[in-house]
Amino acid sequence: MNITTSIPITGNQLNVNNVWARLEQEYKKDVVSDGTGISDLLNMIGRARVGSSAFTYVKDVCKYAKLEGTDTVVVTLDIFVWPSSMSLEYDIKVDLGTISSTQVMVEDRSFDVVFEGTNKVDLPYIFDGKFTPQMPFISPTGVRLLNINVVPYKTYVTTDKDVFCVLRANGTVSGYRHTVTMALDKSGEDDKEYKIENLQNTVVITWLDENGEEQSDSLQLEIPPCVEGMLDTCDNGLLVGVIGCLGRDCDGKDMYVVYYNSCDGEPILERWEKNE
């Protein structure tokens, strides 16, 4: 699993305390939204060309939610805890649902570290690897510097003078993964479903800093659009799809019908029916 870090790391980003922790959600809402794409449309065209129904094309199954039974949507979202030390003890809580115990995570990562006239840049996670200069070391007065020592520490990197420079970090980052699980009941009165809107959930982590004072970080979870779709009302739960007369005389006498659940796209029943 790879995590996007599109913004290079610059100096003085994090708190100055030596003991810290940072929350990050695995799912990132970005410009690449979860809408219908060209490949979805081409898939539907392909299905129609071979006599299947474009209607019954189901986009990628939402990997963050699934239907359990007929009324319960179970949502699972992963978060990361990036601590200043792997021995940091912390408490983690979530407003809604449950949160799993820690799972140690070590992942490959590469990114730029930018020095802008400083001699220290904090890193957002525990990093173990190499730092390679990508340009000459230049002093704030525009003088090229030679023989600059780059000294990496677990959560920051230093140079022996104030410099302008970019280092490329290549190595591994270490932290913890937790899974937040929410079981949301959509059943209402008279067996009618209702929709769940504006789902909000916040994770809070607390720890003691080097002075023994409690510190915290919180994260409001980003809800993926496909999850919001699963939480929406499923009117009648059915949608009829019609497939062309595959392998049969297409004289309009009958048609192949697929009934599927419009909430999760799972086919419920497929059969030939008279076109009356």
Partner 1 sequence: MSINLNTTFAINLSAIPLNPEGIILEQKDFSSGTGYTTKMDLVTGLYNNLYNTDMGGNIDCGIEENSYNSAMYVYPFNKELVFSTGLTWGNIGEGFQENITVTEQLQFSLDKEQTVKYPVQELISATWFNGLVWDSTGKTAIPPDITVVSNNVSLPIEVYGTVTVKYKTFRHVYAIDIPARDTSDGTAYQSVGYVWWNGGVKMLVLQPPVGAEEDEKSGVNCLGRSIVHTLPSDDLPVPPGEQDNTTILINYCLQQEM
Residues making contact with partner 1 (CB under 8 A): 2-8, 30-42, 45, 60, 108-112, 114, 116-117, 134-136, 138-144, 164, 166, 168
Smallest distance from the beta carbon of 159 to partner 1, in angstroms?
A: 14
Phi and psi at 167, nearest 5°, equal: -110, 140
Q: Which is nearer to partner 1, 2 or 211 (CB)?
A: 2
From 60, 92, 90, 94, select the one nearest 76 (Cα to Cα).
Answer: 94
Quick one: tokens of 81? 């805890």
CB 78, CB 26: distance < 8 Å: yes
Q: Which is nearer to partner 1, 18 or 134 (CB)?
A: 134
Detail the DSSP E strand segments found in 12-102: 21-25, 65-68, 72-83, 90-94, 98-99
The DSSP code sequence of 100-139 is: PPPEEEEEEEEEEEEEEEEEEEE-SSEEEEEEEESS-EE-
Smallest distance from the beta carbon of 2 to partner 1, in angstroms?
A: 5
Smallest distance from the beta carbon of 229 to partner 1, in angstroms?
A: 15
Q: Which is nearer to partner 1, 49 or 253 (CB)?
A: 49
Q: Which is nearer to partner 1, 114 or 257 (CB)?
A: 114
Q: Which is nearer to partner 1, 41 or 238 (CB)?
A: 41
Smallest distance from the beta carbon of 52 to partner 1, in angstroms?
A: 16
Smallest distance from the beta carbon of 3 to partner 1, in angstroms?
A: 7
In the sheet where 214-220 sits, what is the strand order? 90-94, 202-208, 214-220
